[in-house]
Structure 1
Amino acid sequence: MVNQERAQAGCVPVRANPPLAALAGAFSKDMAVRGFFDHTDPDGNSPWDRATKAGISGMGGENIARGQGDAQAVMKAWMNSPGHKANILNCEFRTLGVGMHNASGGPWWTQDFGF
């Protein structure tokens, strides 16, 4: 779905990135377990801080969402949000990791983009 939107915007496809997917999955779970919903975690770590701690370089951007029941619904929500859409259609991004954690208040979704 991401690459379909990117193609319509003239961007190259993003490639799946397992380390970014692990980072995104861990962050989705962390938000659910600790009960917060923000790009900055309760310890003050930004997405770039978390990426660096995980040994990941070239972190580009992050989208988060919660409550959408499936990938189509969360993608629609992100595409209807200017900031999230800008990340998806950022032609400089080359890699993507997606994580979802199913828990109360969720599902909890994270997209982590890389250069």
Structure 2
Amino acid sequence: MNKYRQSKGLKPLVMNKFMSHEAAIHSQDMASKRMAFGHIDFNKRIKRIYDAIQLCRSGSENVAYFKVGPREVVRRWLTSPGHRRNIEGNFNMTGVGIAHDKRGYIYYTQIFVRTDNPAYTQIAQK
């Protein structure tokens, strides 16, 4: 995804473990049917992320479930205007989580955040 962003003149996203943990929990909840597929409770996820990282200005999320690998999921997101808008958005951090269900589907969640927290922005500039 960062190669795509760089091809568009955008800065790369820094992977964040806490955000990936939140994304993984959401993917697991969808795969196990504890939660319907979609952006349910996104406001709760993003609040936990904002509280942990601080100085966040914006956040967004892409979700998908397919029987395909991550490269194909990103390709499909790029053909969707809303998903592509998130990928090309003014964000500097991301987290990704996946989970498998019993039918062989893979649930993907990618969360995007823009933070001005120096502890994170210095990493993003390197």
How far residue 10 of structure 1 moved from its aligned partner, in angstroms, is 1.0
The answer to whether the 8 A contact 2:46-2:59 is kept is: no
The answer to whether the 8 A contact 1:68-1:74 is kept is: no
Count of matched residue positions in the alignment of Structure 1 and Structure 2:
108
Secondary structure of the 2:110 match is: strand
Comparing both structures, which one devotes a greater share of its residues to helix? 2
What percentage of residue pairs aligned between the two structures are identical? 31
> TM-score, length-normalised on structure 2?
0.78
How far residue 76 of structure 1 moved from its aligned partner, in angstroms, is 0.8
> TM-score, length-normalised on structure 1?
0.85
Name which one, 1 or 2, has greater alpha-carbon Rg. Answer: 2
In the alignment, structure 1 segments of 5+ residues that lack a partner are none
Two-structure CA RMSD over aligned residues (Å): 1.6
Structure 1 ranges of 4+ moved more than 6 A: none
Counterparts of 2:46 and 2:18 in 1: how far apart (Å)?
A: 9
How far residue 69 of structure 1 moved from its aligned partner, in angstroms, is 1.8
- Matched to 2:62, the amino acid is N
For residues 29-68 of structure 1, the aligned pairs below 5 Å read 29-33=28-32, 34=34, 36-40=36-40, 45=41, 47-53=42-48, 55-56=51-52, 57=54, 58=56, 60-68=59-67
- Matched to 1:76, the amino acid is R
